Structure 1
Amino acid sequence: MGVNVEKVLDRAAGTLLGTACGDALGVPYEFGSAPYDPRQGPEPIGGGLGDYAPGEWSDDTQMAMCIARVAASGVSIDSPEGLDAIASGFLEWMAGDPADVGNQTRALLTPMLADQEWTEGAVAGIAARMTQRARALHESTGHTAGNGALMRTAPVALAFLDDRERTAKAARRIAELTHTDALAGDSCVLWCEAIRTTVLTGELVGPEAGLDLLPAPRCEAWAALADGSWRDGGPAALRGNGFTVTALYAALHAVEQAAEQAIEQVDDRDREHAGASEDTFRAGITTAVAIGGDTDTVAAIAGALLGARVGVAGVPAAWRRVVHGWPGMDAEDLTRMAGKILRA
């Protein structure tokens, strides 16, 4: 069966829109920065830790845009030039004094700016220097498995849709620009494979499909993903989602809950079409935010995979109308950017 290019484009656009809308929906409630009413569900009211405008996305999508812009430009994101452009984009973003930045990312990028390692535009060799600094940070702290690489990884999944091995290598390489811990790279590999396959097939695929893309010794670290035991603790066990592994499980819980609700709401004749609706996306984001903790990040991660399943029309129109953020983009811009990535 051939690939329906139009539908693939729609699901790719849904991936970026899902990331951005999930992020904006989680912003007001990050670490309890606003009371959350489960009867009403999340709303893109802004505020949060960065005092964002209503509908504005945060650092999750902002950093993802640094990757997406390079992918859309036609420069391979896994090439030395592409990696330098991504790293330079991270520093450009940081130089703009973003409203909210993860602790690990700030600890890495701020000294690079202070030491004048970056000037405006792409700087040759900056990716290697950033990776080296990230490695030194890991050696000094031992704590570089935060969720900051996973939160921004969705565009990587769109860059090489027909090549799962190349996608996996790119996901890990881009994660290592800032997050040296192998678990951070693993989580990006797994989530990118789930998104990539879902975009191509239209069927919701989970991250366990990417376990064979990890080095064999690393699979043991993800035994809970393979056997499903990560579900045993329920949502309460997923609140410590600043850790990349827990963030992945929290996002996966949200996606699974949305898929289950979608199937329950249709009869057997329509099961193959279940899950491609606004209700599905809304249910997933509601679950992600209700978990608590780093709500914008978990909802952004979940939103990427949900968006890959439901496409543009499955992301609630009311949310698409208001979503926006750095670098001066809105929903239409994200849709166009997805098309450019696939064409490139």
Structure 2
Amino acid sequence: MTVKRSFYKDVLFGVAIGDALGVPVEFKSRESIAQKPVTDMIGFGTYDLPPGTWSDDSSLTFCLADVLADGYDLQKIANSFANWLYDEQWTARGEVFDVGIATRAAIERVLHKVRPDLAGDFDESSNGNGSLMRILPLLFYIKDKPVKERFAIAKEVSAITHGHVRSVIACFYYLEFARKLLTNKNLVSVYHEVNTEVISFLKGTTIIPDEIVLFNRLLKGDIYELNVSEMQSSGYVLHTLEAAVWCLLTTASYSEAVLKAVNLGLDTDTTAAVTGGLAGLLYGYESIPEHWMLMLARKKDIDTLAQRLANKYERD
């Protein structure tokens, strides 16, 4: 008997496990981690929290998924982010311990009744990975829509916290990659198809060419041929996206991909969360080591959320 794949569990657990693996060593340099590489789920470290504790990356991913399980509503998504920050909704252990500056500022604008799609900063200097890290559940709402609509919706959901076109392109690329993984598990094929289609779409928009060129290492190169020394893992959105795709393309299992992401250092939780979302879709949540799953905070709640998404999007 074949067990039916749950892409909803793939995404939610894929993100959360990667996130939790990275939390204990967040901000540590690659060189520092290399002295004692992360090979398993550990705890404490940077935030002195138990193993299996996930951060804002997963919290905001779950907030988005929670709203999407009832339908798409941009204001409710923005409000759910505020409920996380101020009321500890969808925190791993009842406290918010990690929040980006741009994300906090945007949520405060939401509370001051700024329109959600205008709440994020549109300045070029505000291109952290705060919208990329939480965007993946949007896949289930947009996957069957025309490409222009997929881009437009990704844009407004990103803009709740990050409105600059660079962050929007990163979110769009990531979602397009994930969308391909729903039906095609040939990773190199997916990578080249996504690049061709994304380039074609972006050229037909009014986005200035200088912004598109910034994505050339992904779009026009073979990023999997780059050496680890050429990959960066800061909180900059483009670094995170490149590192995630690189980790996926240069490994052969979920655990290998997310551990490779963590061991890049610096923004370890987000790099691994973004990698983990794609790796979850590629390999399936069943491929995640069972002892990692057993340590994960609020596993039952995440399971229930995945089932709500399934009930909504498999019915629709």
- Range class of TM-score, shorter chain: 0.7 to 0.9
CA distance in 2, matches of 1:6, 1:163: 27
CA distance in 2, matches of 1:232, 1:256: 9
Instruction: Compute the displacement of 1:53 (Å).
Output: 2.8
1:268 corresponds to: none
Q: Which protein has the bigger helix share?
A: 1
Instruction: Compute the displacement of 1:50 (Å).
Output: 4.0
Instruction: Compute the displacement of 1:235 (Å).
Output: 2.4
Amino acid at match of 1:68: A
- Pairs within 5 Å for 1:271-286: 280-286=253-259
Structure 2's unaligned 5+ residue stretches are 89-95
> How many correspondences in the alignment?
295
CA distance in 2, matches of 1:332, 1:109: 27
1:138 corresponds to: 122
Change over 3 Å in CA distance of 1:235–1:111 after alignment to 2: same
CA distance in 2, matches of 1:130, 1:109: 9
Query: C-alpha offsets along residues 224-266 of structure 1, whole Å, 9 cap, x if unaligned?
Result: 22221656763234334211111101111110111xxx3xxxx
Instruction: Compute the displacement of 1:202 (Å).
Output: 3.8
Q: Does 1:213 align with 2:210?
A: no
Amino acid at match of 1:174: V
Q: Does 1:195 align with 2:178?
A: yes
Amino acid at match of 2:115: R
1:201 is paired with a residue whose SS is coil
- Pairs within 5 Å for 1:263-274: none
Change over 3 Å in CA distance of 1:105–1:324 after alignment to 2: same
CA distance in 1, matches of 2:20, 2:304: 16
Which stretch of the first structure deviates more once superposed, 92-101 or 242-251?
Answer: 92-101
Paired-residue identity, %: 28
2:98 is paired with a residue whose SS is coil
Is the 1:159–1:341 contact (alpha carbons within 8 Å) kept by the matching residues of 2?
A: no
Amino acid at match of 2:227: G
2:92 corresponds to: none
- Pairs within 5 Å for 1:69-218: 69-73=66-70, 75=71, 77=72, 82-96=73-87, 98-110=96-108, 112-113=110-111, 117=112, 126=113, 129-134=115-120, 137-139=121-123, 142-163=124-145, 165=147, 166-204=149-187, 205-206=190-191, 207-208=194-195, 209-216=197-204, 217=209, 218=211
Instruction: Compute the displacement of 1:223 (Å).
Output: 2.1
Is the 2:139–2:175 contact (alpha carbons within 8 Å) kept by the matching residues of 1?
A: yes
Which stretch of the first structure deviates more once superposed, 183-192 or 218-227?
Answer: 218-227
Change over 3 Å in CA distance of 1:215–1:173 after alignment to 2: farther
Query: C-alpha offsets along residues 56-87 of structure 1, whole Å, 9 cap, x if unaligned?
Result: 211001011111011111x2x2xxxx001100
Is the 1:289–1:299 contact (alpha carbons within 8 Å) kept by the matching residues of 2?
A: yes
Instruction: Compute the displacement of 1:99 (Å).
Output: 1.0
Is the 1:161–1:200 contact (alpha carbons within 8 Å) kept by the matching residues of 2?
A: no
List 4+ stretches of structure 1 deviating above 4 A: 37-40, 229-233, 328-331
Normalising to structure 2: TM-score of the pair?
A: 0.82
1:55 to 46, 52, 59: 52
CA RMSD of aligned residues (A): 2.8
Normalising to structure 1: TM-score of the pair?
A: 0.76
2:214 is paired with a residue whose SS is helix
Amino acid at match of 2:117: T
1:224 is paired with a residue whose SS is helix
CA distance in 2, matches of 1:249, 1:59: 21
CA distance in 1, matches of 2:98, 2:6: 30
1:323 to 281, 296, 306: 296
CA distance in 1, matches of 2:50, 2:103: 23
